[in-house]
Amino acid sequence: MGDGNNLVGVDIGSSSIKVCQIKETRKGRSLHKLAYAPLPPQTIVDGHIMNAGAVTETLSRMFADNQIKQRNVAISVSGQSVIIRKITVPMMTPAELDEQIQWEAEQHIPFDIKDVQIDYEVLKRQPERGQMDLLLVAAKRDEINDYAQFVREARLKPLIVDIDAFTVQNLFEATRGFPPDQTVALINLGASLSSLNIITGGISAFTRDIASGGNVITEEIQRQTGVSFDQAESYKCGGSGGDAGAFGSSGMVPQQVHDVIESVCDTIAAEIQRSLDFFMATSGESEIHRIHVTGGTANLTPLRNAIQRRAKTNVDFFNPVEKLTLDGPGVPEPLVRERAAQLAVAVGLSLRKEKEKRA
Ligand SMILES: Nc1ncnc2c1ncn2[C@@H]1O[C@H](COP(=O)(O)OP(=O)(O)OP(=O)(O)O)[C@@H](O)[C@H]1O
Ligand SMILES: [Mg+2]
């Protein structure tokens, strides 16, 4: 605290944009502004913004309608344009590392090094071995520039570009903290993407984005029952949008839909399990003690159950706003209630401060 104002967290997800501003006082953190707006399908495909106009207009409108005055924002990127690796390098000074990092990155990053923005964090120094562990992050410059540019076109100033998985990790740390002697998995289950971050003793040990999320469930319901995307979404969400009329005169979700949900959730869980298995096989860790899930698709009980069944590890729902008080009119209570799970990245970004800007 005391190091400048909080930035506004802007999460441009493939299904919707989430905007969040928090206030920090001595008494704690409160949610000061919150806005949510769906994006038309195909606005963002495979992490690329295909329809810049829709993103820029939606963002401008969200800030105007909700009277958000702070224009300095933090955004994040994820998916195929981001590579995160834990690497080991010889012990060196920060100055030497700054000089060496491009070369080190080249050995580990499958992109042309000229096209990526490199960042790193020292995870652990092991002087006795003359080595240190780094977390190396490479994000495609084009992708970052695109996102930043569209945000600027909405007359906002992106001061920080973060990565979804780390944003959720920061929020979890600020909310609950990590047990020092345990390994936990944090999974953000979104619409088109699910990001997995395995954390040992509070330090990220493995991250992976899985190109699967709520959309594959909706699309499979569509395919098997012949309904529209919107109808399939309503079925999937069990009418949680209050749109009971969508279920026809019976007001029931057909059994076939339940079966499709069960089966696709199991497929997603299997994919997550493959990543957990890979981590276990390569990390030397013997156990994942707990799995915390968040993101819109974490609302689906069948998915949480499927992950728990396959991983044989307790799955817990992480509510991104569980420790925040609500500040009043800028924060619609029904929105918080219905969309809480979708807010992890936006709330995580809103923890960032103006003064720490590096970009
Ligand atoms: N109550 C619910 N039950 C089931 N699914 C839900 C519910 N609420 C939201 N979802 C699903 O969550 C997804 C949206 O979650 P989220 O906002 O976290 O994704 P996103 O950030 O837009 O996408 P991504 O991060 O993948 O680009 C959608 O697939 C939506 O159908
Ligand atoms: Mg998301």
Report the separation in Å between the CA atom of 15 and the middle of ligand 1, taken as the mean of its atom positions: 7
Express each pLDDT in 185-228 by its tens digit: 999 999 999 999 999 999 999 999 999 999 999 999 999 999 99
| Same domain? 122 vs 193 | no
Which ligand is nearest the CA of 191, by number?
Answer: 1
pLDDT > 70 in the chain, percent? 94
| Same domain? 71 vs 96 | no
- Amino acid at position 73, single letter: V
* CB contact set of 338 (below 8 Å; sequence gap of 6+): 240, 241
The ligand 1 atom at the shortest distance from the C-alpha of residue 295 is 18
pLDDT surpasses 60 at 244: no
| Same domain? 39 vs 156 | yes
Q: Give burial (CB, 10 Å; 0-12/13-18/19+) of 298.
A: buried
| Same domain? 43 vs 68 | yes
| Same domain? 200 vs 300 | yes
Q: What is the pLDDT of residue 335?
A: 94
pLDDT band at 249 (very low <50, low <70, confident <90, very high): very low
Per the CB < 8 A criterion, the answer to whether 341 and 317 are in contact is yes
Which one, of 63, 67, 59, 31, lies nearest residue 332 by Cα?
31
- Domain encompassing residue 44: 1-79+142-176+320-359
Express each pLDDT in 51-101 by its tens digit: 999 999 999 999 999 999 999 999 999 877 888 888 999 999 999 999 999
| Same domain? 194 vs 169 | no
| Average pLDDT over the chain, rounded to an integer | 91
For residue 250, what is the domain's CATH number? 3.30.420.40
C-alpha angle 58/59/62, rounded to 5°? 85
| Same domain? 54 vs 148 | yes
User: What's the chain's Rg over C-alpha atoms?
Assistant: 21
212 vs 247, higher pLDDT: 212
| Same domain? 105 vs 149 | no
Express each pLDDT in 152-186 by its tens digit: 999 999 999 999 999 999 999 999 999 999 999 99
| Same domain? 183 vs 168 | no
For residue 87, what is the domain's CATH number? 3.30.1490.300
228 vs 249, higher pLDDT: 228
Taking CA atoms only, the protein residue closest to ligand 1 atom 25 is: 190
Q: Which residues line ligand 1 (CB under 6 A)?
A: 13-16, 190-193, 213-215, 233, 236-237, 240, 295-297, 299-300, 342
pLDDT band at 252 (very low <50, low <70, confident <90, very high): confident
- Amino acid at position 166, single letter: F
| Same domain? 229 vs 357 | no
Q: What is the pLDDT of residue 251?
A: 56
The ligand 1 atom at the shortest distance from the C-alpha of residue 236 is 4
- Amino acid at position 334, single letter: P
Section 322-337 average pLDDT: 91
| Same domain? 208 vs 309 | yes
Count of domains forming the chain: 3
pLDDT surpasses 60 at 245: no
| Same domain? 62 vs 171 | yes
